[in-house]
Amino acid sequence: MSKLIPAIRVKNFSFYYETQKIVEGVSMDIYQNQITAIIGSSGCGKSTFLKSLNRMNELEAEVNVEGRVEFYGQNIYERRVNLSRLRRQISMVFPKPNLFPMSVYDNVAYGVKLVGWHPKVELDAIVESAIKAAELWDELKNKLHKSALELSGGQQQRLCIARALAVKPKVLLMDEPCSGLDPIGSMQIENLIHNLRSELTIVIVTHNLQQVTRLSDFTAFFHSNENRITQMVEFGTTNKIFTNPLDSRTRDYIFARVG
């Protein structure tokens, strides 16, 4: 493996919704151009943690944090951080497609237009390149001006990825990106994630442990303790976590589910 460069360094990080502590004392590195999976029981705080990596949860609730999340050396929780810029650099894909009721083209162009004006020819090129990167161009090149909501579920989810890619993020956070898809739709997204890794750093939350072993380079196991506060129990290469976990709680979770 070539030298690993941390894109995000999480340092002794705790997260609260108002005063309710959800995640406690997480320290981990998320490496550039690697796929990192976050696994753990339902409700333990995986999505919360994922959204704390680009401060998305602040759109939903009042939050408090302790510790640091450094993105290429800068603590994203510093007061002077520009949140729109941060969320472009660390973009997010949600469990269900959340396209706008507008055309395929306008969905992909949306975030790009928010950043600033581009000549039409430039915008066309950005949209085409993002749709190609999401491996949808052949399917959609003749439907660019049709409503995005007419696409299949799998196409909609890949279009969400195209929309996220259009603003040229460095990191893509993916929360259960295949949850609503059939096996073929899931496999297309998995192939896409696999191919995107050469250009992007990816963090994925999923309950599908087979998917974790197929896709990810590193795995973090989160576990909620008796006080319903979640800690990261173990982090390592996916191979190590799935063949020889050190912690009995990781072992119990993985072997109970994989068999």
Ligand X SMILES: Nc1ncnc2c1ncn2[C@@H]1O[C@H](COP(=O)(O)OP(=O)(O)OP(=O)(O)O)[C@@H](O)[C@H]1O
Burial of 61 by CB count in 10 Å (0-12 exposed, 13-18 middle, 19+ buried)? exposed
Q: Cβ 238 to ligand X, closest distance in Å?
A: 19
**Using rule CB under 6 A, residue 46 touches ligand X:** yes
- What does the alpha-carbon distance between residue 205 and residue 19 come to, in Å, rounded to a whole number? 24
Closer CB to ligand X, 38 or 151, in the complex: 38
**Residue-wise DSSP of 121-181:** HHHHHHHHHHHHHTT-HHHHTT-TTSBGGGS-HHHHHHHHHHHHHHT--SEEEEESTTTT-
**Using rule CB under 6 A, residue 60 touches ligand X:** yes
Determine contact, residues 70/9, Cβ cutoff 8 Å. yes
**Using rule CB under 6 A, residue 158 touches ligand X:** no
Task: Point out which span in 45-53, 118-126, 233-241, 250-258 binds ligand X (CB under 6 A).
Answer: 45-53
**Binding-site member from 22, 136, 162, 178 for ligand X (CB under 6 A):** 22
**Using rule CB under 6 A, residue 45 touches ligand X:** yes
Q: Cβ 143 to ligand X, closest distance in Å?
A: 32
- What does the alpha-carbon distance between residue 204 and residue 92 come to, in Å, rounded to a whole number? 10
**Binding-site member from 61, 83, 114, 115 for ligand X (CB under 6 A):** 61
**Using rule CB under 6 A, residue 153 touches ligand X:** no
Closer CB to ligand X, 123 or 229, in the complex: 229
**Using rule CB under 6 A, residue 177 touches ligand X:** no
Three-state SS sequence of 39-65: EECCCCCHHHHHHHCCCHHHHCCCEEE
First to last CA, the chain: 29
- What does the alpha-carbon distance between residue 129 and residue 134 come to, in Å, rounded to a whole number? 9
Q: Cβ 20 to ligand X, closest distance in Å?
A: 7
**Using rule CB under 6 A, residue 47 touches ligand X:** yes
**Binding-site member from 2, 42, 142, 198 for ligand X (CB under 6 A):** 42
Interface residue list for ligand X (CB under 6 A): 17, 22, 40, 42-48, 60-61
